[in-house]
């Protein structure tokens, strides 16, 4: 079953299903439906797998015949390990303080309020 072969690809590259979906450019829910057997993959989906992972033999993916990874592949496994991720930017928390509050009513009127300091 193609879902099992997709799981094999995900495991081989140590990806999560979310990161696999992101690499393919497909909705995470779409991948989940395919992996759970609810939906069958579309031709567009199979083409995205083929283009994103050239070492995956298309014949193996579709029919389960042959081997994975392809014996002609020298591509190292992809990984989402921390060493490959860009550093997370540091955020500073700003304390916001309201200087004026405006309330607009449905009849077109409005009021301004200033907080006590």
CATH number for the domain harbouring residue 60: 1.10.260.40
pLDDT for 18 beyond 50: yes
Question: Residue 32 domain-assigned?
Answer: yes
Q: What's the CA gap between 98 and 94, in Å, rounded?
A: 13
For residue range 53-69, list pLDDT tens digits in order: 988 998 899 998 888 77
Coil, strand or helix: which one is 111? strand
Question: Strand, helix or coil at 62?
Answer: helix
Residue 73 pLDDT class (50, 70, 90 cuts): very low
Number of separate domains in the chain: 1
- Tell me if 93 is assigned to some domain: no
pLDDT, one tens digit per residue, over 24-39 is 999 999 999 999 999 9
Q: Is residue 111 predicted with pLDDT exceeding 80?
A: yes
Q: Is the pTM of this model over 0.75?
A: no
Q: Is residue 9 part of a domain?
A: yes
């Amino acid at each position: 079953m193609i879902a099992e072969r997709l799981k094999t690809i995900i495991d081989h590259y140590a990806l999560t299903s979310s990161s696999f979906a992101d690499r393919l450019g497909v909705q995470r829910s779409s991948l989940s439906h395919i992996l759970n057997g609810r939906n069958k993959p579309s031709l567009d989906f199979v083409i995205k797998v083929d283009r994103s992972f050239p070492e995956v033999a298309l014949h193996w993916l579709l029919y389960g015949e042959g081997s994975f990874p392809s014996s002609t592949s020298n591509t190292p496994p992809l990984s989402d390990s921390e060493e490959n991720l860009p550093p997370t930017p540091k955020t500073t928390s700003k304390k916001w303080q309201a200087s004026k509050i405006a309330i607009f009513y449905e009849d077109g009127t409005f009021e301004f309020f200033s907080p006590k300091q």
